[in-house]
Amino acid sequence: MRFTVYRKPDGGRQAALVEPDEVRPLAGSLTDLLAAPGGSRGPVQPQLGAPLPAGLPTVPPVQPLVVVAPGPRPDPALPEQAIRLAGHREFYLKSGHTVIGAEDAIPYRDALGALSYRAQLGLIFRPTNRHTPAAAILDRLAAVVLAAEVYSVDLLRVGWEGTMWHVRYGEGASFDGACPIGPLLVTADELLGAEVRLTDGAGDAAIEWPDVAEFAAYVNEWMELGPSVLVLAGSRHGPVMTLEGADPVIRFPSGEPALGPSDVVRASSSALGEVAAPVGKPLIVAR
Amino acid sequence: MRLLTYETAPGARVGVLRGERVVELALGYGRIGRPAPGSLDELIAGGEEAWTTARRAVEVLAPEDGVPLDGLRLAPPFIPRTIICGGANFADHLDETHREKPDHVEFFLKSPTGVVGAGTDVRMDRALSTKYDYEVELGIVIGRPARNVMREAALDYVCGYTIINDVSIRDRQVIPWDPGRYQLRFGEGKSYRDSAPLGPWLVTADELPDVSTLGLRTRVSGQLRQNNSMRNIIWDVPALISYYSTYMTLEPGFLIAAGTPGGPALGSDVELGADPYERRDGVVRGAYVPDGALVECEIDGIGVLANRYVVAD
């Protein structure tokens, strides 16, 4: 099943089932539907109303409390020993408030510098205890959504504190509008195991489901999953963690898009729809 | 006002602390003929108008209306919509971990899904970590949307303060890189089950007009492990709000954890790069939190956030 959520003229939200020839409103919220023990395939069946008119604006189909994303992949050109160091899988958090709708504007700030992004699968799980193995984690997947993970090319950097370093994910990837998602939310049964391709400004790639499962299981070692946690599954052609001499650095692919005000973050998938989020004008300083 | 959330059989209730007694806030709203917020989250989201009504509701309450605090099961006062952490913010913590003052405010996030209230056990999963640590931190609660806020105006956006224990699993946070150098992974090190004890209550900003001199302490099973003052913070509360609001809009219900002073067990862990220099302030260097230990995080003017760490699957 495919769902979306509309912004009603009174500012409220209306979840809806998207069918080939019509869109019908749901009686409840998508979050309630996904949190049910069987998810959208289980005992809870959507209660549908009369068809909705076309052209209503959409909002994010889910509003998670937190977004969990994978850090940069290790540079495959590194020697094996360096890959061992650079290649530790890492996850980082983005605020749930970075999530915006597929066509919402990303509020630009001068402090962000140049922006770039990658299309990723956004995973929404049914309530899931920790330590689910990779072989079983996708059985708990309720639905997926298209996400454009936006980051600052200028700020997503390694920061040093004497002998210790970290990647500056806060400034570099958790700013307003840094996670446009939607417009559709598609139940897992429609997609699991199928070829799903994602396209963004850097290219086109098929989803590798074993990689998706492995990362989700990794995150699940730490936290219980459910509709309040949106897991981004990563991209095969994003920035990489590499070395300059002995120092870790993030390297962006050549030709990395560098977006600013009036540019548009575009990602698409035939299975999941299109994100087309314009980068907005700079914010005015409040005080 | 000191506002808290406590569990009852029908569900959670918002209360106000009057001496050693807790009065249900809804009682006051009933007396002034106004609908009560369903949670402290809702009150915070309501902004200044909601706070004005809350003050009126509290004025008509007396301690006799309440029940003893002792014996109540506390929940987190509210669930922060986002938790922003400012680490590397006390010189003694930097010194003991061989770190230098960074040229920018540290900025990472902690998952609100790990929030638990005072008195709730912190469950230690030995499959995840054998190095569970503690970090007492001032929790700054945002009350108005704040974006691009100047330092001079930053406190206008604060509705209150609380205590957060930034529970950290060091063997997942501090990763040996090459000799003498380490990677910090704030995702793995800071966000998991029960990683954010919060409370015991929220103290409104009008009761704490100056947090810049408050003392912070941590005791582990009675042993003093952290002991410092907000006087020694590197980036103070206005600086943190101003910095973070440069990158993202701080919404009502966001919580900023202001950073922790020296004394966590990490500061004694030579394996992870520590320099456990001798302290002269009564702080005892110690190991990671053992099964069954009571960790008490205290901040002057707010109270004590106490949680027992227990090994659990």
pLDDT in tens, B190-243: 999 999 999 999 999 999 999 999 999 999 999 999 999 999 999 999 999 999
Gap between the Cα atoms of A276 and A49, Å rounded: 29
Query: Which pLDDT score is estimated for B102?
Result: 82
pLDDT above 70 (res B257) = yes
pLDDT, tens digit only, all 287 positions of chain A: 999 999 988 888 999 999 888 889 988 888 877 877 655 555 456 677 787 777 788 999 999 999 999 999 888 888 766 666 655 679 999 999 999 999 999 999 999 999 999 999 999 999 999 999 999 999 999 999 999 999 999 999 999 988 899 999 999 999 999 999 999 999 999 998 899 999 998 889 999 999 999 999 999 999 999 999 999 999 988 899 888 888 889 999 888 889 999 999 999 999 999 999 999 986 555 44
DSSP state of B90: B
Tokens 């409220």 correspond to: A12
Residue A10 three-state SS: coil
Gap between the Cα atoms of A238 and A242, Å rounded: 13
Q: Which of residues 107-136 of A touch B (CB under 8 A)?
A: 107, 109, 111-112, 130-131
The predicted-structure confidence for B161-204, as pLDDT tens digits, reads as follows 999 999 999 999 999 888 888 999 999 999 999 999 999 999 99
Q: Which of residues 197-256 of B touch A (CB under 8 A)?
A: 244, 246-249, 251
Angle at the Cα of B107 from the Cα atoms of B128 and B178, rounded to 5 degrees: 55
* Cβ distance of A286 and B187 shorter than 8 Å: no
Tokens 């004005």 correspond to: B52
- Categorise residue A27: left if φ over 0, alpha if ψ from -120 to 50, beta otherwise: alpha
| A176 contact B CB<8A | yes
* Cβ distance of B153 and A85 shorter than 8 Å: no
A244-269 in b/e form (b: 16+ CB < 10 A) is eeeebbbebeeeebebeeebebbbbb
- Residue B305's nearest CA partner among B214, B206, B218 is B218
Tokens 């998991």 correspond to: B192
| B179 contact A CB<8A | no
Q: Which of residues 22-41 of B touch A (CB under 8 A)?
A: none
Gap between the Cα atoms of B39 and B21, Å rounded: 19
Token code pair at residue A133:
């193995």
Q: Determine what percent of chain B is predicted with pLDDT higher than 70.
A: 100
| B88 contact A CB<8A | yes
pLDDT above 60 (res B55) = yes
Query: Which pLDDT score is estimated for B197?
Result: 98
Token code pair at residue B76:
């987190």
pLDDT above 60 (res B9) = yes
Gap between the Cα atoms of A19 and A2, Å rounded: 7
Tokens 């302030």 correspond to: B281
Burial (CB count within 10 angstroms: exposed 0-12, middle 13-18, buried 19+), residue B269: buried
Backbone angles phi, psi at A78, to 5 degrees: -75, 150
* Cβ distance of A71 and B187 shorter than 8 Å: yes
> Considering just the CA atoms, what is the radius of gyration of chain B in Å?
19
Token code pair at residue B229:
């003052």
* Cβ distance of A287 and B149 shorter than 8 Å: yes
Tokens 């699940």 correspond to: A220
Query: Which pLDDT score is estimated for B190?
Result: 97
The predicted-structure confidence for B163-174, as pLDDT tens digits, reads as follows 999 999 999 999
Token code pair at residue B130:
């054998």
Is the Cβ–Cβ distance between A44 and A93 less than 8 Å? no
Is the Cβ–Cβ distance between B200 and B214 less than 8 Å? no
Token code pair at residue B176:
């040996």
Token code pair at residue A248:
């870790």
Gap between the Cα atoms of B301 and B216, Å rounded: 10
| A174 contact B CB<8A | yes
Token code pair at residue B173:
């946070």
Token code pair at residue A89:
């899988």
In CATH, the number for domain B83-311 is: 3.90.850.10
Query: Which pLDDT score is estimated for A287?
Result: 44
CA-based max dimension of chain A: 64
Query: Which pLDDT score is estimated for A43?
Result: 44
Q: According to CATH, where is 3.90.850.10 located in chain B?
A: 83-311
* Cβ distance of B248 and A248 shorter than 8 Å: no
Q: List Cβ neighbours of B1 (8 Å cut-off, separation of 6 or more).
A: B16, B54, B55, B58, B203, B204, B206, B207
Contacts of A284 in chain B (CB under 8 A): 148
Bond prior to A133 in cis (omega within 30° of 0): no
Q: List Cβ neighbours of B116 (8 Å cut-off, separation of 6 or more).
A: B76, B122, B194, B196, B197, B198, B307
Q: Determine what percent of chain B is predicted with pLDDT higher than 90.
A: 92
Bridge partner list, A164: A161, B182
Q: Which residue of B has its CA nearest to A225?
A: B113
Residue A268 three-state SS: strand
Q: What is the ipTM of this complex?
A: 0.96
Is the Cβ–Cβ distance between B25 and B201 less than 8 Å? no
